[in-house]
Structures are given as C-alpha cells and as structure tokens.
Amino acid sequence: MRWADIGRFVTRVERGLVGLLGLTALLAGTAQVLGRYVDPAHAISWAEEAIVYLLVWAVLLTGSDLVRTDGHVRPDLVLRLLPASAQRIAEIVNCLVAIGFCGALAWFGASIVAGSYQLDERSSTDLQFPMWLYDLALPVGGGLMALRYLIRLWRYIFAFDPARMTVGHPGAHELEGLHDAPPAS
C-alpha cells in the first residue's frame, strides 16, 4: 500500500466519522424537539449536551482535512504577491508554527484528558457523561492536524512543485478526478 492510499483512507475515515457525528447530533436534536412537543414528560433532557460534545468532536476532526485542502484561514492575497520561492518559505514557516501549535494542543489536551480520567469527572446533567471522552477531542484533533502539517512540511521541503503548490494554482486535492473530465472551453 502506498502513502497516498493511506492518506485517502484516513481522509475517508475522518469524513465518515464527521458525517456520523453530525447525523447523530441531528437525530438527538430532532428527538428532543419531538419529545418536547409530543410527550413532554418523557422528553430527553441531555440532547443539548450530547449535541455539543458531538459537534466539538466533528469540528476538531474536520481541522485535519482543512489542513490537507488548504481550507484554514490564510492571507492568500499577500501570498499571491510573493514569488514562488518566497511562498515556499512562507508555507514552511507556517507549517513549523502550526506543528508547534497543534503539538501543544495535543500535549496539553492529553494532560487534560488524564486529569479528567483520574478524577472521574462527569457532566452535571442526567447524562453523567465521562468528560475525558469529550476532552479527548483535543489531543486527537491536534495530533491529526499536526500529522497533516508534517506531511505538508515534507512536501514543501522535499517535493515542492511551484506549478501545483503555490497560491493561485490548484493543489493536488483539487486535481483529483479532473483527469477524467472533458477540457473546459
């Protein structure tokens, strides 16, 4: 199996999990609203809490795919004014800073998870959800983003292609599947 195949598999898993988390949040919200109007005595009281947990996990998992697709907020206008070599340097610096930030997020998130687990922290609602599972989104999301930034850094250092990797040119993720499309007129 090639690295590209592994990357595509990880992307599919991440997107599948995000979709599943979003669908679960939607179903919990729908059940709560219907329960409130149909049978208020038996309506679930923990749906809002569960929706927050699910959506925080989904957002942090999505961050990894945003790194892969250049979806994070960035100063494209400034980068477009730079020559390809300067864009490359800016991207390398960006990757290094982002790896540091994401690594810190994963590291400190792991310490939060450990503390929450040791204290057996639970939510204060009827759900009594173990908070370490909620907190686990921090190190997992930070770790996945750091991994994607490491891959990106490697590409900018060792496999830089100015025709595909500079601002204003489509990235590899944008070119996937386009080779089968008819040429634009």
Residues facing residue 122 across a β-bridge:
130
Whether the predicted pLDDT of 154 surpasses 70: yes
pLDDT at 153 over 70: yes
The stretch 11-20 carries a mean pLDDT of 96
Domain boundaries, the chain: 3-162
pTM of the full predicted structure? 0.83
Q: Would you state the pLDDT for residue 56?
A: 97
181, pLDDT greater than 50: no
Q: Does pLDDT of 162 surpass 50?
A: yes
| Exposure on the CB side of residue 179, measured as CA atoms within 13 A | 3
pLDDT of residue 180: 45
Average pLDDT over residues 135-151: 96
* pLDDT tens digits, one per residue of 29-83: 999 999 999 988 888 888 999 999 999 999 999 999 999 988 887 788 888 888 9
Read off the pLDDT of residues 81-124 as tens digits, 9 standing for 90 and up: 889 999 999 999 999 999 999 999 999 999 999 999 999 999 98
